[in-house]
Structure 1
Amino acid sequence: MTERVDAVVVGAGHNGLVAANLLADAGWDVLVCEAAEAPGGAVRSAEITAPGFVSDLASAFHPLGAASPVLRELDLGAHGLQWRHAPTVLAHPTPDGRCAVLHRRLDDTAAAL
């Protein structure tokens, strides 16, 4: 017997999962297909270097996610999501050995530059 669905979402990264969730909330039957062994795409994390130390496995810079009205409406906090905010957001080493650093506080970023 062939299962019938209203939508097929290819990829269980953050965009695919949000799209599937919105369709399911609208009453659609949704099938999510993912080639990797775990969902999450570029926003997955795991303990890969030391026990208790969780590292990002791909992209670590999703600052707009915490402010996203779409993600807020999904009430992911009720399912265990907790946003964490490091005081130092991003660092980029330069060829001459210096490092540009972005901080959560504008004054700290300006002083570092």
Structure 2
Amino acid sequence: MGERHDAVVVGSGPNGLAAAITLAEAGRSVLVLEGAARPGGGLRTDELLEPGFRHDVCSTIMALPPLVSFFGPLGLDLVTPPAPLAHPFDDGTAVIVERAVAETAARLGRDEAAYRALLEPL
């Protein structure tokens, strides 16, 4: 018969890793299964265009307080950039999405009111 484990965690993204770590710290034997070549799930970055230029391959915003408080003591250094993301458009222009809704909205021209209406209630 094959090797037995107390728990099998499918996926090595932040949630899967947190579950596996929590179970292992509680003394359980854990097997983590991952379909990708590397662990990390939504936290993973890859060099997609040029060497040294890394892109998020899933999640864009991972600096949530529960995530930081869980992984921080394990040595994961989550870097929070001044502007969390930018979005390029087909015409060659782009918008930088700032942390403050008003800062981003001010750059959107005719779409400013719609952007504010969408995000300010949040």
TM-score (norm 2): 0.66
The letter of the residue matching 1:60 is: T
Distance 2:83 2:52 in 1: 20
User: Alignment partner of 1:15: what SS?
Assistant: helix
Distance 2:39 2:69 in 1: 20
Equivalence for 2:74:
76
Q: 1:92 to 1:48 in 2, by over 3 A?
A: closer
Equivalence for 2:11:
11
Distance 1:93 1:52 in 2: 20
Equivalence for 2:55:
55
The structure with the largest alpha-carbon Rg is 2
Distance 1:34 1:89 in 2: 27
In terms of fraction of residues, the more strand-rich structure is: 1
Taking only the aligned residue pairs, the percentage that are identical comes to 45
Count of paired positions: 107
Equivalence for 1:20:
20
TM-score (norm 1): 0.70
User: Alignment partner of 2:23: what SS?
Assistant: helix
Equivalence for 1:88:
83
C-alpha RMSD of matched pairs (Å): 2.9
Deviation at 1:31, TM superposition (A): 0.6
Contact in 1 for aligned 2:42/2:57 (Cα 8 Å): yes
Distance 1:16 1:100 in 2: 33
The letter of the residue matching 1:25 is: E
Distance 1:21 1:51 in 2: 32
User: Alignment partner of 2:48: what SS?
Assistant: strand
Structure 1, unmatched stretches of 5+, are none
The letter of the residue matching 1:72 is: S
User: Alignment partner of 1:50: what SS?
Assistant: coil
Structure 2, unmatched stretches of 5+, are 113-122
Distance 1:93 1:48 in 2: 16
Q: 1:18 to 1:85 in 2, by over 3 A?
A: same
Structure 1 segments, 4+ long, off by >3 Å, are 90-94, 98-102, 104-113
